[in-house]
Each structure stands twice: as C-alpha cells, then as structure tokens.
Amino acid sequence: MSLTPQAKTELLENGFTLLRGAVAPPLVDNAVQTINHRLGQGFSSDELVKWSAQTFFPELRDQPVITDLFNASGVRETLEGLLGQGNVSRAGGGQLALRFPREVGTTPQDPRPHIDGVYTPTNGVPQGTLSSFTALVAVFLTDVSRDFGGNFSVWPRSHRKMEAYFRENGVEELMNGGKIPALDYGPPQQVHAQAGDAVIAHYQLLHSTTINIAPLPRYAVFFRVKHPLHNENRLECLSNLWLEWPGVQ
C-alpha cells in the first residue's frame, strides 16, 4: 500500500502518519492469541519492570507470528515507497509492548517525551552511545479509542526542533546525559487507533506512551527500521531529517 499525498505531507510536517487497516485481521488475531497464551504462563515482578522498558516475552519477538505483522502486511511495502525500493529489510524481530491497566481511581498524567536509542538505567542502551535508526513503526493489536488507554503519543513537529538542536549543539550531551533538550515541544497528541492500524514515524519524532486507566490492556508491537546506509549516515541524519527518505524528499 502506498501513502496518499496527504499522508506524505502529514509525515513531512508532523513527523508521523497513521495507516488505517495496514495489517490484516488474521495476522492480528494470531499475534494476540500467541501473546495471551504466553501471558497465561505468568511472569515475575522483576520481569515486568525490565520488559516494560525493553520487550515482553523476548522468546517471541523473532517468531513469524510477530514478524509477519511487518513482513506479511502492507507495512513493509509502504516503507519501501518512502525509503526506496530494496532499502527496507525484512524484520528480524519486534518489540512486544504491553501496557496493563492501573488501579481504579488512578489520576492520569501527561507522558514524558523521548527518542529511542538513548541510555536509561533499564532499557539496555549503553551510556555514551546513540542507537539510532531511520523509522519507527507501531502496529496496534488492540483498540485504543480513548485518551490514557496506554496510547502511543507523539509531539507533532518535534522532529524539526530536534533537527535544529542537533545542527547547533551536536549529539554528545544527549548521549552522555540521556535527556532530551529542554525545549518547548507543545502538548502531546494521544493516538487513537484500532487493531490492525499502524503508525510510521520519523526516528527523531518525540514520543511516549500514556498510562492505561482503561479497563483492558493495550497490545502493540514496535519495529525499528534502518536504511542500509544508516550506520554511515547516522550522525548526518540527525541534522538532515529526510536524507534516508527519498520518497518524502
């Protein structure tokens, strides 16, 4: 599936776009059934803390039932239209991101923005490094039809502010401190999505996840896509947003 001109403009201007029905229902159902089967086997509180920052059920992340959400759907084809034919490899794994409901009466608070690949004490990224990539893809396996339901949240146009920051300041402070620059990014937008929808976002778009005060868990799988030349381009990309996106240029 190819993006409409309107969707491309949204990606260019806001840093993300939402693809409705990008993943067929049978692929979604198979992934949900697999996750629920594994969920029934339980996990420890220590695993909950670690997996919330990394991936739930690491033994599932490279299984076809998960990777098919990208490889066997319209998502990979759409990315090729943006990054160039032959520039999007098959996904070797996905991040299973589950967000469970909080206690009844929990007061919601706005999420805190970040970009991926920056060190935190729990995410496994070594301090002093930046594990960047080209595009972030979120595939939703459950409906999120209200705010504070574990929503994937974005700060529209923040990718442009990050580009300007990197042009002026470089990346060393971010790599060593692990904190994004204190700029005015405006309010976050909580994405409302249905099972089978997908978001494509630029790597430098600030994003986060809200707490979940809805009655049901939120299931999503994230894929991180690298242009074949990203390792050579990775620093230049920070100050040249669309270097690896010929379909957007």
Relative to beta strand 198-202, strand 95-99 is unpaired
Three-class SS state of 174: helix
Model pLDDT for residues 201-211, shown as the tens digit of each residue = 999 999 999 99
> Which overall architecture, per CATH, does domain 5-102+111-238 show?
Sandwich (2.60)
Q: What is the mean pLDDT of the chain?
A: 94
Q: What are the two backbone dihedrals, phi and then psi, of residue 240, each rounded to the nearest 5 degrees? A: -145, 85
Model pLDDT for residues 30-40, shown as the tens digit of each residue = 999 999 999 99
Residue 145 CA, chain-centre distance (Å), reads: 18
Q: The whole model's pTM is what?
A: 0.94
Distance CA 139, CA 23 (A): 8
